[in-house]
Amino acid sequence: MSSSRDTDFQVTVEVPSNIALVKYWGKRDPERQWPANDSLSMTLNAAKSITTARVVRGVGGDTLRREDQNGKLVTVDPSDKALRHVAFLRRELALDGALDIATRNTFPTGCGIASSASGLGALTLAAIGAWTGSSSFAELAAAGFDRERLAALARLGSGSACRSFHSGYVLWSAGLEPDAQSVMQVYDHEHWQLADLICIVSREEKAISSSAGHLTAATSPLYRPRLAGLPERMRRVRAALAARDLDALGVQIEAEALEMHAVMMTATPSLRYLHDASCELITWLRNERESRGLPAYFTIDAGPNIHVICQHGDRDKIATRILAAFPQVTLISDCTGSGPRITGRQLA
Ligand code: PMV
């Protein structure tokens, strides 16, 4: 199958990042990206990857330019994970045409905000949009790519990317076999608007990627007990979401994040993503909550930065208090998001 349009057609997509409330950590089958457990995330609004793709006629391979921290577009090496994913998609889907791709993130990469989720999600959506000449989700579905299929393809690039294909709160179920995995929306973004105050305590690239980290999980003595307890945690998180109960949710997500980091630290090799500054912020947040009633809780991904979760209406007030206590922190004020977007246009 080749691109359905004869003239040059360019697709631009925006795919948000997501923050897991119940974490995906460990894989049953790394080849088929089969996670060890179900996970549940909140799709974000501001933190996203914006990616443009067009099919280039004639000879030549794919090119990918990525905006660096200074806002300069840098051509990435052909061995980059993103270009390997494009090559995989082309083979898997039997679609043809070299792609010219440009991408940028609205947040710093490699520091615990899931850049691989939004990045690989956006890349998958942009590439398939360009190859099939689609400029909306309806056109993609008509071309054979509904959200479920897009999410499954993005998952093969980065597991957590599959949860960025819906708005609101999203459940990725592991299923009983690799092909029985599913991704579904539990609630849309209007059900409950929460804020995620992303506190960047370090912009350093993490030394161990999450892909490498997942492979160490099963070596931790805490891993099996964690998996055994997760169905009950998921039940409690879902009940808290249903009731829009921040305190009930908060207790669960803090325990969940700390448990995942305990597995990381007790694995072989031992992984320590948290910095001293991360722990200071957590301690402060807990003190503020216990002694002054600050209505906020934390979660953490595979990185040092702290995601402070609170009611949307409290976000400015809480952000001000965090910045007063930690003036060196860069704070991205985000919230529950409305999901990915795609637009296309003919080039002159
Ligand atoms: O999708 P990956 O391979 O980048 O793994 C994501 C792992 C965590 O961010 C730590 C947890 C999660 O569920 O997003």
User: pLDDT per residue over 88-98, tens digit each?
Assistant: 999 999 998 99
Alpha helices in the chain (DSSP H): 81-93, 115-132, 137-142, 147-155, 210-214, 223-243, 246-265, 276-292, 315-325
Asked whether this chain's domains 9-191+341-346 and 194-335 adopt the same fold, the reply is: no
Q: Is the CB of 209 under 6 A from ligand 1?
A: no
Instruction: Please tell me the distance between residue 115's alpha carbon and the centre of ligand 1 in angstroms.
Output: 10
Quick one: which H or E segment has residue 64? strand 63-67
Instruction: Please tell me the distance between residue 198's alpha carbon and the centre of ligand 1 in angstroms.
Output: 16
Q: Is the CB of 257 under 6 A from ligand 1?
A: no
Q: Is the CB of 282 under 6 A from ligand 1?
A: no
Q: Is the CB of 39 under 6 A from ligand 1?
A: yes
- How far is the C-alpha of 193 from the C-alpha of 187, rounded, in Å? 11
- How far is the C-alpha of 229 from the C-alpha of 206, rounded, in Å? 28
pLDDT category at 146 given cuts 50, 70, 90 is: very high
Q: Is the CB of 240 under 6 A from ligand 1?
A: no
Question: Residue 244's CB: how many other CB atoms inside 10 A?
Answer: 14
Reported pTM? 0.94
194-335 has which CATH code?
3.30.70.890
Q: Which atom of ligand 1 sits closest to the CA of residue 39?
A: 13
Q: Which amino acid is at 255?
A: A
Q: Is the pLDDT reported for residue 176 higher than 90?
A: yes
8 A C-beta contact, residue 314 and residue 335: no
Q: For the chain, give every domain's residue range.
A: 9-191+341-346, 194-335
Q: Is the pLDDT reported for residue 8 higher than 90?
A: no
pLDDT category at 346 given cuts 50, 70, 90 is: confident
- How far is the C-alpha of 218 from the C-alpha of 214, rounded, in Å? 8
- How far is the C-alpha of 99 from the C-alpha of 131, rounded, in Å? 8
pLDDT category at 111 given cuts 50, 70, 90 is: low
Q: Classify 9-191+341-346 by CATH class.
A: alpha beta
Of all protein residues, the one whose alpha carbon is nearest to atom 4 of ligand 1 is 210
Q: Is the CB of 23 under 6 A from ligand 1?
A: yes
Q: Is the CB of 132 under 6 A from ligand 1?
A: no
